Structure 1
Amino acid sequence: RKKARLGRQIPLHRPCLQRFLPRDFSPSLDLRPCSSPLEISSKGSRLCSPGGTPAPKSRRLPPRLAWCAIDWEQVRLLEPLGAGGFGSVYRATYRGETVALKKVKRSDRNRLACRQSFWGELNVAHLRHGHLVRLLAAAASAPEDRESLGTVIMEYAGGSSLHRALYGERAPSPPRCLRYARQVASGLRFLHAAGIVHLDLKPANLLLAEGDVCKIGDFGCSRRLQDLRSPAAAHPCQLGGTYTHRAPELLRGERVTAKADVYSFAITLWQMLSRELPYSGERQCVLYAVVAYELRPAFTPAFRRAAGGSPLPELIRDCWQADPERRPSAAALLQRLSSPELRL
Structure 2
Amino acid sequence: MAAVLGAIAEHPIADPVRVACADILAARGDEAGALQLLEGGDGPARATPVTSTPGLILVADLLATQGQLPRALGTIERVLAREIDAPGALERHQRWRAALGTPRPSAGRLDEATLLAPTARSGPFKVMREVARGGAGVVYEAEDELLGRKLAFKVYHARTTERGHLDREARLAAALWGPGIVRMLDADPAEGWIALEWVARGSIRDVLRGGDATLLFPIERWARPLAQALARVHAHGYVHADVKPANVLLRQPSEPLLGDFGIARPRGAPYDGGSPGYMSPERLAGRASDPRDDVYGYARVIEDVVVRCETLIAGGASFASHNELEVWRTLSSRCLGPDPERPADGAALLEALP
Q: Structure 2: state its 5+ residue gaps.
A: 1-14, 20-54, 66-91
Q: CA deviation at 1:38?
A: 1.9
Shift of 1:261: 0.2
**C-alpha contact (below 8 Å) 1:202/1:264 kept by paired residues:** yes
The answer for the alignment partner of 1:183 in structure 2 is 225
For the 8 Å contact 2:167–2:189, the answer to whether it is kept is no
Aligned pairs for 1:36-185 (under 5 A) are: 37-41=113-117, 43-47=118-122, 72=123, 74-94=124-144, 95-96=146-147, 97-106=149-158, 111=161, 114-122=162-170, 123-142=172-191, 150-168=192-210, 170-172=212-214, 175-185=217-227
| 1:128 Cα deviation from its structure 2 partner | 1.9
Cα displacement (A) at 1:176: 2.7
- Closer, same or farther: CA 215–307 of 1 in aligned 2, 3 Å: farther
Q: Can you list the C-alpha shifts for 1:238-290, whole angstroms capped at 9, x where unaligned? A: x322110101121111121111100111111111111189xxxxxxxxxxxxx
Q: Judge conservation of contact 1:103–1:151 (CA < 8 Å) in 2.
A: yes
The 1:86/1:326 distance shift into structure 2, 3 A limit, reads closer
- Distance apart, 1:170 and its partner CA: 2.1
Q: Which has the higher helix share?
A: 2
- Report the 3-state secondary structure (helix = DSSP H, G, I; strand = E; otherwise coil) of the residue aligned with 1:318: helix
Match for residue 275 of structure 1 among 308, 315, 318: 308
Greater RCO between the two (CA within 8 Å, min separation 6)?
A: 1
Match of 1:317 among 328, 333, 352: 333
Whichever residue aligns with residue 38 of structure 1, its letter is T
Matches within 5 A, 1:258-337: 258-275=291-308, 306-308=322-324, 311-323=327-339, 326-337=342-353
CA distance in 1, matches of 2:97, 2:325: 39
TM-score (norm 1): 0.66
Residues in 1 aligned to 2:223 and 2:186: alpha-carbon distance in whole angstroms? 28
Match of 2:105 in 1: 26
Q: Measured at CA, do residues 37 and 179 of structure 1 come closer, stay the same or move farther in structure 2, by a change above 3 Å? A: farther
CA 1:306 to 1:36, structure 2 compared with 1: closer, same or farther past 3 Å? Answer: farther
Q: Give me the whole-angstrom Cα distance separating, in 2, the residues matched to 1:77 and 1:152.
A: 13
**Identity of aligned pairs, percent?**
26
Q: CA RMSD in A?
A: 3.6
Q: Which amino acid letter does the alignment assign opposite residue 331 of structure 1?
A: A
Instruction: Count residues in correspondence.
Output: 265
1:160 match: secondary structure:
coil
The verdict on how the C-alpha distance between 1:307 and 1:200 changes in structure 2, with shifts beyond 3 A counting, is farther
Residues 76 and 197 from structure 1, CA distance in 2 versus in 1: closer, same or farther, beyond 3 angstroms? Answer: same
Q: TM-score, normalised by structure 2?
A: 0.64
Which ranges in structure 1 are unaligned for 5 or more consecutive residues? 48-71, 143-149, 229-234, 278-299
